[in-house]
Amino acid sequence: MRIRASFAGLAVMLAVVGCSQQETAGGGGSGIEGVANAMGATNLNTIEYAGSGSVFGFGQAYLPGEAWPRFDQEVYRVQANYQAPAFRLDQTRSQGMHPPHGGAAQPIAGDQRTVAVVNGESAWAENGDMATPNPGGAAGDRRRMLWATPHGVIKAALANNGTLEGNTITFTAEGREFKATVSGDNLVEKVAYLNTNEVIGDYPVEVTYSDYMDYNGVKFPTHIVQTDDGHPTFDIRITSMQPNAAVTMDVPANVTNAAPPAPMTAKSEVLGPGFWYINAGGTWSWALDFGDHAVVVEAITSEARSLAVLEEVRRLMPNKPIRYLLNTHAHYDHAGGLRTFVQQGITIVTHEMNVPFYKEVWARPRTIAPDSLSKEPKEAVFETVSDKKVMTGGGKTLELYYMKNTGHNGANLLIYAPQQGVVFWGDGYNPPPGDDPIDPARTPEYGIDLIRVINENNLNVRTIAPAHGAGSRPYDNLRKAAGLMAP
């Protein structure tokens, strides 16, 4: 309802701005209307612009605190309709770092295209003629991207009673405060707002616009740089812009009729006696019976997933305290569910290099999406690994190995259950569905890293059961995928 109200407000404000532009008869004016006139926003209903440059993998740095890994952005194309409001971001990326360094699905093979769309409350991904609904927070995220565009921010400021003080426009939309900085000649230079992430909580998004050009009275920047939490996520040179382009983003029927997202549930399969492989939300954890306590491997993605995994572990091992959570690495997907375990008094076992990062980011504010730990704070307890750590209990053993000199992450652990010959990792090779072990979306560098670590430590691996992918597979599948064994 709130969105429709602001849409009505936008229509009214557009009418008002239209009058004031006639009165100032030349595109001047003061306040936010002056910015709207200078930008050519007043009669702009839709836009299409495109360019290329670099795109970066947020939350996927080689080491915590470093810049996000870079990809070549072959295509960056935006279509926007400010009134719907609707927004489409069409991107094609390819491997940008040689050799691969860091995460975000590296090393990617060939070109990888993604098309993300929002229209009102509906968000979806396009893949050719197919539309995949993106329920949950995607619609809000993409509308915020629309309101952070050079003209979108002016439209949203006018529709939401924005104020201009000094050179800063401030307003609230989509539940967030936006700040837009304008230049002396009334062009939008920067838009900033807060976003949220399961690992780091509130974090700043800043989009910087420069090198403006005039397209028949509509000003548009030819250089766009976005940072998320201080590191670049986009650096794009715009090469074409079409004001009032014919853009259509009708909501596909299967998106309109999509069921709401099902609640997160966990399912387990047996890897050995008292040893389970748990799937929740499409990603995997391990749970082991260590006699007088339980151990869980990997708290991936989110608090919602951790709560489902914890419920399943307690169903499998009723009344057994969960004492340890083993974390492979600090990429934001693999660390996204850790805080839930901390809040429940469970010790986090991770590489020693990750601890200062976790302590720092877990202390940050969480005003946008409070979680159980921010509501009931508890001090995190860590046990660390430098080169190797062995954990035993209830006749079971887990061995944790630091993955030295590997490309995916610089503080990454491989976890090995010697009695069953099963190995777990965070990223590097994701078993695809079906019979062919080769993942066509990736080149094999990180799979080769995994095999090298396994060989260097003389591990007798028979089964792989990692964090991502279609499920547990024979170790030979990894060797075939890496090109070290005939298919």
The nearer residue to Zn ion, 88 or 408, going by C-beta atoms, is 408
Tell me if 480 contacts Zn ion by CB under 5 A: no
**With respect to Zn ion, which residue has the nearer C-beta, 68 or 275?**
68
Burial of residue 74 (number of CB atoms within 10 Å: 0-12, 13-18, 19+): middle
- Min dist CB 409 to Zn ion, Å, is 5
Instruction: Kindly state the smallest distance separating residue 468's Cβ from Zn ion, in Å.
Output: 9
Which is it for strands 46-56 and 231-243: parallel, antiparallel or unpaired? Answer: antiparallel
Kindly tell me which of 206 and 427 has the beta carbon lying closer to Zn ion: 427
**Coil, helix or strand for 272?**
strand
Of the candidate spans 32-40, 347-355, 424-432, 436-444, the one that interacts with Zn ion by CB under 5 A turns out to be 424-432
Give the separation between CA 379 and CA 239, rounded to whole angstroms.
Answer: 50
Residue 392 and residue 423: Cα distance in Å, rounded?
Answer: 16
Between 331 and 396, CB nearer to Zn ion: 331
Residue in 29, 51, 100, 103 binding Zn ion, rule: CB under 5 A? 103
Minimum CB–partner distance for residue 298 and Zn ion (Å) = 11
d(CA 355, CA 248): 48
- The interface region with Zn ion, picked from 66-74, 98-106, 156-164, 174-182 by CB under 5 A, is 98-106
Mark 148-187 with x for binding to Zn ion (rule: CB under 5 A) and - for no binding: ----------------------------------------
Place of tokens 């159980």: 372
Q: How far is the CB of 331 from Zn ion (least distance, A)?
A: 3
Peptide bond into 444 cis (omega under 30): no
Minimum CB separation of residue 421 from Zn ion in Å reads 24
Those residues whose C-beta lies under 8 Å from the C-beta of residue 445, and which sit 6 or more positions away, are: 99, 100, 107, 407
Q: Which stretch binds Zn ion (CB under 5 A): 219-227, 233-241, 338-346, 427-435?
A: 427-435
DSSP letters spanning 454-468:
HHHTT----EE--SS
With CB under 5 A as the contact rule, the residue among 427, 442, 451, 461 that binds Zn ion is 427
- Strands 266-272 and 275-280, by their bridges, are antiparallel
Please tell me whether the peptide bond between 85 and the residue prior to it is cis, using omega within 30 degrees of 0.
yes
Among positions 70, 331, 473, 480, the unique one binding Zn ion when judged by CB under 5 A: 331
> What is the spatial distance between Cα 409 and Cα 379, in angstroms, rounded to a whole number?
26
Closest approach of Zn ion to the CB of residue 97, in Å: 14
With CB atoms as reference, the residue minimizing the distance to Zn ion is 331
Structure tokens given for 105: 């699905």
Q: How far is the CB of 425 from Zn ion (least distance, A)?
A: 9
Q: Annotate 411-434 with b (16+ C-beta within 10 A) or e (fewer).
A: bbbbbbbeebebbbbbbbbbbbee
Q: Residue 284's beta-bridge partner residues?
A: 279
Please state whether 298 falls in left (phi above 0), alpha (psi between -120 and 50) or beta. Answer: left
> Measured from the CB atom, is 171 or 402 closer to Zn ion?
402
Minimal distance in Å, beta carbon 369 to Zn ion? 22
Shortest Å, Cβ 462 to Zn ion: 24
By C-beta, is 33 or 449 nearer to Zn ion?
449
Residue whose CB is less far from Zn ion, 149 or 430: 430
Q: Which stretch binds Zn ion (CB under 5 A): 136-144, 297-305, 317-325, 425-433?
A: 425-433
* Residue 106 burial (10 A CB sphere; 0-12, 13-18, 19+): buried
Site size for Zn ion, by CB under 5 A?
A: 3
Q: Which CB atom, from 331 or from 473, has the smaller least distance to Zn ion?
A: 331
Q: Which residues sit at the interface with Zn ion, rule CB under 5 A? A: 103, 331, 427
